[in-house]
């Protein structure tokens, strides 16, 4: 975000230099820009500002971890978007012992570092989700439960 602000300030400063009156600049020969040069310069500036803004937008939007709601108001699923590992987060109201995290399924790709590779989608069944590998297109059925032994993941062929 700092880069975006610095670029915009620099570009505004550069435009101000071109906007100065020739009489106020002593001993300096300044040729005014042609209309084509000015339009080209403004187009390049606009493209650079949009590229910086797009990069900053996506860096802030794509996270390594995402949390998905379930039908159970006390449980959510946390997905590692790089490895495909899913854990259940249980929240509590009155005591700290009711707040914990447990594994639903191990990582599908434990060595992968590509953030955003996996995405989780709900199904009509409250305890089943579809895990999609957005790079290879592979799909998995993920079953979660409040009982750790009932959780699992199976490939969909």
Helix (H) / strand (E) containing 75: strand 75-80
* Owning domain of residue 34: 2-61
- Same domain? For 48 and 110 the reply is no
- Same domain? For 57 and 127 the reply is no
Tens place of pLDDT per residue across the chain (157 aa): 667 766 777 767 666 555 555 555 566 566 777 777 777 776 777 666 666 555 555 555 668 999 999 988 889 999 999 999 999 998 887 777 778 899 999 999 999 889 999 999 999 998 999 999 999 999 999 999 888 888 999 999 8
CA–CA separation, 117 and 76 (whole Å): 20
- Same domain? For 128 and 69 the reply is yes
| pLDDT on residue 16 | 58
Which of 61, 80, 106 terminates a domain? The answer is 61
CA–CA separation, 78 and 55 (whole Å): 25
| pLDDT on residue 40 | 73
Is the whole model's pTM more than 0.85, yes or no? no
| pLDDT on residue 21 | 54
- Same domain? For 36 and 83 the reply is no
CA–CA separation, 76 and 87 (whole Å): 9
Burial class (CB in 10 A: 0-12, 13-18, 19+), 130: middle
Indicate the number of domains in the chain: 2
- Same domain? For 131 and 149 the reply is yes
CA–CA separation, 47 and 11 (whole Å): 12
Which of 40, 61, 82 terminates a domain? The answer is 61
Which of 61, 83, 99 terminates a domain? The answer is 61
């Amino acid at each position: 975000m700092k880069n975006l602000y610095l670029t915009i300030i620099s570009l505004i400063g550069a435009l101000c230099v071109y906007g100065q009156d020739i009489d106020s600049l002593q001993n300096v020969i300044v040729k005014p820009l042609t209309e084509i040069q000015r339009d080209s310069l403004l187009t390049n500036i606009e493209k650079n500002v949009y590229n910086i803004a797009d990069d900053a937008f996506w860096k802030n939007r794509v996270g390594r971890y995402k949390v998905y709601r379930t039908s159970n108001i006390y449980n959510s699923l946390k997905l590692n978007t790089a490895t495909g590992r899913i854990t259940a987060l249980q929240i509590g109201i009155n005591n700290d012992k009711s707040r914990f995290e447990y594994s639903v399924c191990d990582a599908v790709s434990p060595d992968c570092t590509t953030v955003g590779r996996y995405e989780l989608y709900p199904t009509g069944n409250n305890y089943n989700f579809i895990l999609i590998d957005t790079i290879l297109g592979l799909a998995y059925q993920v079953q979660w439960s409040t009982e750790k032994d009932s959780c699992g993941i199976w490939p969909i062929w």
